[in-house]
Structure formats: structure tokens, C-alpha cells
Amino acid sequence: MPVLRHRRQIGLLPVHHIPKLAVKAAKCIRRGVMMRNLLAVLALFSLLVPAAVQADPSDVTAAARGVVRVVIVGSDGSQVFPVSHGTGFAVTPTQIVTNAHVVREAQQDDTLRIAVVPPEGNNSAFAHIVAISPRNDLALIELTGDSLKLPPLTIAGKPASDGAEVSAVGYPMNVDRAQGLNLADVFRSQPPVKSRGFVSGSRPSRQFDTILHTAPIARGNSGGPLVDGCGRVLGVNSFGADAQGGDAEFYFAVSDREVLPFLRANSIDPQVNALPCRSLAEVDQSEQARIAQEQMVARQNLARRAEAVRDKRNRAQLEAEMAVTKMRENQMAMAFLLVLLATGAGVVAWQARGQKYEERQRVIAGGIAAVASVVALALWITRPGLDEIDRQVAAAMQDSETQSGAALVKQASNGAMICTLDTNRSRITGTADDQLQFDWAADGCVNGRTQYGFNAGTWSRVFVPNTASTVSVNIYDPDSKTFRTDRYLLDQDGMDAARTARSAYEPPACASENAASKLGDLQGAVISALPASPNERLVYSCSAKNLSAAP
């Protein structure tokens, strides 16, 4: 990394400065009470000011998996030796961005080669230059052979704001010297150095756009990424400037405004993420607030439903009372009229007794009296009682509950669904699919082929790939139709531990006996080998798939 002036050595203070410092210290002590009061006020005020988002060490460490040492290698015919080195970072598994001045010697001298040393694994590889742009100090190199694959870094889709915390990742030579490393150690895999600072502004140079920042870099950092708190690349560290008189030091990175057009001009479509960088704690806090809001809305809806049920019951009660009362009164009135009719007919029959010429009239009147009496008695006995009101109310409410239950069953049904990414509930440091097709069965079989495990009330499936350095834990909640993926971006040791735990079991197939509970128990060993928190959380909201739409 070129430096604009020589770094001044910092030594001990001369003795003649000590008395002056003592006088200043005495004055400060006399102001002690005032300063303590002022500091107390400032401390109280600081509690009221929201803290700036800080870099997440795990995300910067995850990004460092794709940061490599770029070594210019010479040979004397019998052995190879390093000529110089810088830093680079992967934008595809085999393509690396660095500074143009890092590989300039190899471009100008055919006897020199470019070696790439990964941060772990001791699996170095040679590379060749694909493109070089001296105007903005960018270069693209590509690995030769298939011995090394790197996890690509994600490019930040938006520039960092002034004052935002950033991290420089690379291989500074002064750290190598301080560690006592020799030339041979340059070819040995080592994790890159990570240093923190802040964005001091966008300060375009004469030829290209740069980011001014305070994350310390030195010779050897050239070509390394400047990343935000989520590990996304903001720029490529290129050069620095030391201010005169021991003032603050500032450094420059080629901004993404230069990097993205350079990559696309060379037919590379990099991973780009323009979402705000939020910590997982912020996402969890937002999720808790959302859940609290949903619970409050659910309570309000429950109260409204209870009020609606009460209103319906009251209406049903009133309608039943009116109907039963009317029916009861009608039957009693009819019975009363029939009793009168029976009485009159009975009187006629009584008066006609013993008179032969009126025998037929007596029989008819007696029959009428008998029939009227029986019907009147039947009407009186079958008149609805007050308990009929309760039966009618219960029948009306049962019909309503049956309809509501059918609606809920229809609403809660699963099957073929489309799951849409909810960015407000997610933490995405890389890239993610906007939509997923998801077919859920009641026994935990997904898409007809992948069994999910059930443990502690949660449906989940753990995926540990053999090549990629990412472990994914998929979780599905059939009640809320929420699909979630927690991604763990692990180093080589972490992936080895996860693969070892995963190789100890074979997931049961769909529809096999007790498949869900068995898998739920088997996955516990892999989950226990993962860090406490994931690097990414993708949350999808699922809904029934429109079967009429084109596939």
C-alpha cells in the first residue's frame, strides 16, 4: 500500500516537558468538581441518545473467510520465493478482486507468478490476471485449477453514511514483522487482520471515487475489503496518508461506485445487498414488538368476537323468546277455544239425552266434544316450555360455530404454498430468494421428499452441505404459516464439527414410522455444535398457491 509520507516514530516524552504537564494537571484537578458534574450530565445525556450500529465480529469474521493473501512469486530455478504481497477478496468462488498495483509486477514481468493463499486450509493456488484497471487501481484475477474454492463476499448496495463503523480486513506487513514471520510463512494460511474505524466521508480523488476512513491499514492491506457491520464490501483499500505533527491518520478505499462497474464490465454479476445493516438483536427486538402488537390485536379481535357472540346470543335469545312465547300463546289460545267448543258440544249432548228424535244430534255433539277435548289437551300438553328457548338459542349458536370452524380449517390448511421474503423481519447480510415454493404436509413432509423433524413444539430441518461453508436450519410454523431459515457462516473448524455431527445419522424418509420425532432427536447434535446466534435470518410468509397461475 503506497503511503504519502514516511511514518514518524513515536518515542518517550522529553524530560523538560514534564513540569509543564504537571502545571496543566494541577489546573485540571482544581476544575475536578466542575468536570465531574459535567461528565455526569453527559453520561445521563448519552443514555438518551441511541447508539450507532456497531460491527458484528461474527459477520466480519464470516466475510474474512473469502479474504486471501495475494503473493507475487519469483523463482531462481530451484525454489520459489515471495517478491511482494497484498490482499484480495473473492467475488465468485474462483475470482478475486485486488488492487492494480498489487499485481503490476506480475503483469510487467513474465517470470513472476501470482499465488493466492487462503485464510485457512493451507490449500494455496496460482492465479492469472483477468482484467486490470490502473485508472482506479483495480484488478481481477482468477484461480487456476480446481484445488481452491472461496466463499464470495457480498457487495454493499448503498454507501455507508458518514460516521458509520467499518472494518478493514487484510494482511498488513507490519503485523507479519511484529510476529517474527519469515518469507516462508507468507505461503502459510493465516486468518487476516481485522481493524475497526469510521467513515470520514466520500472524498473522490482526481481520477476515481474513494471512501475516506480511519480503520488502520498498512503495506500489505492493499486490495483488501473495507466492510460494514454486516461484512458487506464498501470498497477496496488502496492507500493511506499520515498527517504531519502526530495528527489523526486517514486511509482511502476505492468505493463500490468504481468496483461494481468494473466487475460488471468483466461479466461478473456479484452478490449485492442494499438492505440496511441491522444486528440480530435489533431484528429480535423488532420481532418481539411485532409479536406483542399481534397479541394485542388478537386480544382485541377476541374481545370483538366475544362481543359479537354475545350480541348474536342476545339476538337469538330474543328471537327464541318471541317465537316460543308466540307459539305457546297460540297453542294455549287454541286449546282454550277447543275447550269452549267441547263444553258447548257437551252441553248440547247433555240436553239431547233421552230424546229419541235428537239421538243423532247428541252423538254428533258428543263426538265434537270428545275430539275438541282431546285436541285441546294435546295442544296444552305440547305447548312449548321455557326450556325450548334455550334449545333454539343453542341450535342457532351451534350453526354459527360450525361455520366459523369450517372457515378456520380452510384458513389453516397447508399444502402447496408460495412463501414470500419479509425483509422487515429478516437479517440478510448476503443475498436471498424473494419467493419459495413450499408444499407442507401434516406429518412434516416438505415438497413430497424432505422430512422435517419435530422437537420441543418446533418443526425443523438442518442442512450441512459438503462443499459450501454455510449451515442452514429451516424452521416452519404451520399455525402462522411462517418459514424461517437461520444461516450460520462457519470457518473450516466449525464446518468440520457440523459435518462430523451430521454424518452420525441418516434422516428418515417421509411417511416412515415416527419420522418426525426421530429426526427431531437426531438433529440435536448438529444444532448444539452451532454458534449461539446465526449470521443471517430469512423469514418468509407463506400463503396458498394460486393453482390457476402458470407454474
- Quick: pLDDT tens for 194-216: 999 999 876 666 678 999 999 99
The DSSP bridge partners found for residue 226 are 168, 235
Distance CA 289, CA 420 (A): 21
Q: Which residues of 460-492 are buried (b: 16+ CB within 10 A; e: fewer)?
A: bbbebeeeebbbbbbbbeeeebbbbbbbbbbbe
**What's the pLDDT tens digit per position in 322-361?**
887 888 788 888 888 888 887 887 787 777 766 665 677 7
SS3 state of residue 65: coil
Chain position carrying cell 257437551: 346
Instruction: At 161, list the grid cell.
Output: 453514511
Question: Look-up: residue for cell 437461520?
Answer: 486
User: How many Å apart are CA 349 and CA 369, to the nearest integer?
Assistant: 9
Phi, psi of 220 (to 5 degrees): 110, -25
C-beta separation of 53 from 35 below 8 A: no
CA distance 94 to 72: 18
Judge: domain 57-277, CATH 2.40.128.130.
no
Taking a C-beta distance cutoff of 8 angstroms, is the pair 212, 199 a contact? yes
Q: What is the DSSP letter of 224?
A: P
DSSP sequence for 484-550: EEEEEE--HHHHHHHHHHHTT--PPPTTSTTHHHHHHHHTHHHHHTS-SS-SEEEEEEEEE--TTS-
Cβ within 8 Å of residue 505, ≥6 positions away: 522, 525
**Closest-CA residue to 455 (of 505, 521, 508):** 521
- For 99, other C-beta atoms within 10 Å of its C-beta total 28
CA-CA distance, 22 to 24, in Å (whole number)? 5
Longest dimension (CA), the chain: 159
C-alpha cell at 219: 503495506
> Please, what is the Cα angle at 267 between 264 and 273, to 5 degrees?
45
* Burial classification of residue 526, based on how many CB atoms lie within 10 Å of its CB (0-12 exposed, 13-18 middle, 19 or more buried): buried
Contact criterion met (CB below 8 Å) for 234 and 228: yes
Contact between 154 and 431 under an 8 Å Cβ cutoff? The reply is yes
Task: Return the pLDDT at 316.
Answer: 81
d(CA 218, CA 3): 8
Cell 438492505 belongs to which residue? 275
Q: What is the DSSP letter of 310?
A: H
Q: How far is CA 176 from CA 70, 94, 218, 367, in A?
A: 14, 26, 11, 125
CA–CA separation, 217 and 181 (whole Å): 18
Helices (H), 352-438: 359-382, 387-412
493-504: b (≥16 Cβ within 10 Å) or e: ebbebbbebbee
Tens place of pLDDT per residue across the chain (551 aa): 444 433 333 333 333 443 443 444 444 444 544 444 444 434 333 333 344 445 568 899 999 999 999 999 998 878 888 899 999 999 999 999 999 999 999 999 989 999 999 999 888 999 999 999 999 999 999 999 888 999 999 999 998 888 899 999 999 999 988 988 887 788 899 999 999 999 987 666 667 899 999 999 999 999 999 999 999 999 999 998 765 555 568 899 999 999 999 999 999 999 999 998 888 888 888 888 888 887 888 888 888 888 888 888 888 888 878 887 888 788 888 888 888 887 887 787 777 766 665 677 777 877 888 888 888 888 888 888 778 778 877 887 776 665 555 544 444 446 889 999 999 999 999 889 999 999 999 999 999 999 999 999 999 999 999 988 999 999 999 999 999 999 999 999 999 999 999 999 999 999 899 999 999 999 999 999 999 999 999 999 999 876 444 43
- Who's near 331: CB < 8 A, 6+ residues apart? 379, 380, 382, 383, 384
